[in-house]
Amino acid sequence: ESTTVVVIGAGPAGLTVANLLRRCGIDCVVLERRARDHVEQRQRAGIVETRAVRMFHEWGLADQVFGGIPLSGFLEIRIAGESHLLSQDDGSEGPPARLCPQQVLVQNLLSTYVADGGDLRFEAADVSLHDLTGERATVRYRDPSGAARAIDCAFVAGCDGDHGVSRASIPDGVLTAYPFDHGIAWLTVLADAPPSVHPLMAVSPHGFAAHFARGPRASRFYLQCPPDDHPDAWPDDRVWSQLRARLGDPALVSGPITERELFQLRSIVHDPMDHGRLFLVGDAAHIVSPMGGKGMNLALYDAEVFAHAVSDFLHHNDDTGLRSYSPRCLRRVWNDQEFSHWLTQTLHDAGDHPLAGPFRHGLARARLDRLTTSPTAARAFAELMAGLA
Ligand code: APR
What order of strands is seen across the sheet that includes strand 119-121? 119-121, 28-31, 5-8, 155-158, 278-280, 274-275
User: Are 286 and 298 in contact, with CB atoms under 8 Å apart?
Assistant: yes
My answer on whether 144 and 21 are in the same domain is: yes
- Tell how far the Cα of 54 is from the centroid of ligand 1, in angstroms: 23
Question: What is the C-alpha separation between 347 and 209, in angstroms, rounded?
Answer: 9
- Tell how far the Cα of 161 is from the centroid of ligand 1, in angstroms: 4
How many domains does the chain fold into? Answer: 2
For the Cβ of 298 lying below 6 angstroms from any atom of ligand 1, the answer is no
For the Cβ of 102 lying below 6 angstroms from any atom of ligand 1, the answer is yes
My answer on whether 43 and 138 are in the same domain is: yes
CATH code assigned at 29: 3.50.50.60
- Tell how far the Cα of 88 is from the centroid of ligand 1, in angstroms: 28
Give the end of a domain, one of 307, 323, 340: 340
CATH code assigned at 194: 3.30.9.10
For the Cβ of 296 lying below 6 angstroms from any atom of ligand 1, the answer is yes
For the Cβ of 32 lying below 6 angstroms from any atom of ligand 1, the answer is yes
Strand 98-99 and strand 82-87: pairing?
Answer: unpaired
My answer on whether 259 and 374 are in the same domain is: yes
In a domain, 88, yes or no: no
My answer on whether 293 and 159 are in the same domain is: yes
- Tell how far the Cα of 157 is from the centroid of ligand 1, in angstroms: 12
For the Cβ of 158 lying below 6 angstroms from any atom of ligand 1, the answer is no
- Tell how far the Cα of 159 is from the centroid of ligand 1, in angstroms: 6
ipTM of the complex: 0.96
My answer on whether 109 and 10 are in the same domain is: yes
My answer on whether 103 and 120 are in the same domain is: yes
User: Are 298 and 288 in contact, with CB atoms under 8 Å apart?
Assistant: yes
Question: What is the C-alpha separation between 33 and 300, in angstroms, rounded?
Answer: 20
In a domain, 377, yes or no: yes
For the Cβ of 299 lying below 6 angstroms from any atom of ligand 1, the answer is yes
Question: What is the C-alpha separation between 119 and 325, in angstroms, rounded?
Answer: 25
My answer on whether 115 and 29 are in the same domain is: yes
Tens of pLDDT, residue by residue, the chain (389 residues): 999 999 999 999 999 999 999 999 999 999 999 999 999 988 776 789 999 999 999 999 999 999 878 888 889 999 988 999 998 888 889 999 998 888 889 999 999 999 989 999 999 999 999 999 999 999 999 999 999 999 999 999 999 999 999 999 999 999 999 999 999 999 999 999 999 989 999 999 999 999 998 878 899 999 999 999 999 999 999 999 999 999 999 999 999 999 999 999 999 999 999 999 999 999 999 999 999 999 999 999 999 999 999 999 999 999 999 999 999 999 999 999 999 999 999 999 999 766 788 999 999 999 999 999 999 999 999 999 999 98
Strand 278-280 and strand 155-158: pairing?
Answer: parallel
Classify 30 in phi/psi space as left (phi over 0), alpha (psi -120 to 50) or beta: beta
In a domain, 80, yes or no: no
What is the sign, positive or negative, of the torsion defined by CA atoms of 160, 164, 166, 172? positive
Residue 329's domain comprises 5-71+99-175+270-340
